[in-house]
A and B are shown apart, each in its own frame.
Chain A
Amino acid sequence: MPYIPLEEHLPGITGLLEYRKDTAEPIRNLTQVLLRGPSTLSEAERELIATVVSNGNACRFCTNAHTAAADKLLGECDTTKAVKENISTAPVSEKMKSLLTIASQVQQSGKAVTEHSIQQAKQEGATDLEIHDTVLIAALFCLYNRYVDGLSTVTPTDPEFYHGLAMRIAKGYQRLPQGYDHLKKQ
């Protein structure tokens, strides 16, 4: 049961973003820029960062949601499974491995990011902008994960829910102009 009254048809983050739309707007805009805006990292790569950080924070709602989004963008489910188990053996580029390592360090603490992991990323061709965005995406998901779990929101267990959510967020993170009443159970 959530700690505050949230709409039942909107579990996890979705109910929180409708509960307080004035704080939701900058959070949505930031997410849109970072995960869907122009970038030399693909949308799937950025979703992998979100997945790894949410998994590190043991936030099941966010992990399931961004795993589903990355799976949809990649067209397969093996990569998300592998990065959650072991970044170093996952089927991603060396540059992505180094960025996911930085993201995991940010998940622990800003101070946990090492000079070595930054140098590693630069050697593998990561640009300053890619490193910046990796750190900020990881930091943003430390916000999301705490927001979702700190208010004890509901985590659906039906994979179909996350499939539907992935279809929506693959298109973007802005609020739907018509709102979310259409998601109420018939």
Chain B
Amino acid sequence: MSPPHRVNPQPLSLSPRQPKHPATTKMARSNFSVLTILSVILLLPVLSLSFSPDSPSDRRLLVLFDDLSLKSSHSIFFNSLKSRGFDLDFKLADDPKLALQRYGQYLYDGLILFSPSIERFGGALDLAAVLDFVDSGHDLIIAADSSASDLIKSVATECGVDFDEDPSALVIDHRSYAVVGTEGDHTLIAADDFIESDVLLGENKIEAPVLFKGIAHSLNAANNLVLKVLSASPAAYSANPSSKLSSPPSLTGSSISLVSVVQARNNARIMITGSLDLFSNRFFRSSVQKAGSPKKYDKSGNEQFVAELSKWVFHERGHLKAVNLRHNKAGETNEPAMYRIKDDLDFSVEIYEWSGKSWEPYVANDVQVQFYMMSPYVLKTLSNDKKGLYHTSFKVPDVYGVFQFKVEYNRLGYTSLLLSKQIPVRPFKHNEYERFITAAFPYYGASFTMMAGFFIFSFVYLYHK
């Protein structure tokens, strides 16, 4: 997502309320300060649980509903989040006390928008506040459905996906719909066109198709951070199922995305889907049979799909950190302040992946280091010891100047690693050049012969008679 520039961020922190009657001012003020101290003391343990580099998983989630019945109709999803250690805060989207941050501190690490029809959030929350929340590195799940409001659509647009403009359109697929008792209008889709990525969807393959009923969205071509995780089949299209199709649908085939994710440049993660029912208990528990396929699954793939993808969104998977970037001359251990051209050096860095509970060694054979000055002079693939230590050694090029060690690691689903460390490279010192080179002995000889010749010549010339 390219973070949009907002000129006037709304002041979100709650300002202390002014007392209404001058007579009570003093008392109110002292009450207020006591309250402030109390609230700080109460908040401290909460703050210590917040997102930190040492444990990047989210802890506190705010869930916004249109109506609270969703809390029970989607309870399996919420209970799985709770069992994974999240604190969920359920609120109505038009709650007048709604706020994401207080006194400049975010109260939540993640936001789940299960309120597709909301036209205007309550309290201090608005489009800019949601985007600021993401811009400061927090995560977001947006679920829309056929009642999606302009507000929800514009949040999604800012994140890089465009929902279908037509408010009555649903995704229809006459080939890969889910077989239900009645013939229906084929808007309940059994989708199984997943992105191939273990880090996004977990190592266990999702066997059963995922049930989807909702609206289509397409990816903004200008945004290269947004990915289709679940795309519609080539036969799908987005149209109003109850009216006859008079003109070709605007969104067709596999350009329709059912579920998309974004990983912003600040590693904030966003999941966007056009189906709120995707998360519902009814879909989690229902059996699924894809049209034209003889196989009937007792349970749809929704639960596994949603659980795995939410692990990714809330940084329980695919979060890398690089530490202990070291370099030294071959055979030494101290890090020098500068290198000389043609020095042999060792470079190492440790890369770990967050498993949700602890930092595990990250093992890959495609991590590269650049020795960079305007362009990479050296590009080496790092070898690893399976314990997270990546290492290589190379010779400093025969060019002096201010170089950088650069590790730029961007892989699908993983947080991007961008490390750079500056290091100057100097030329040979005056006394570091080779002396008395064997190949040059004839030249030395010739020069000294010329000197000796000069003396002999002078002598002979002066005394030759």
Chain B binds chain A:
no
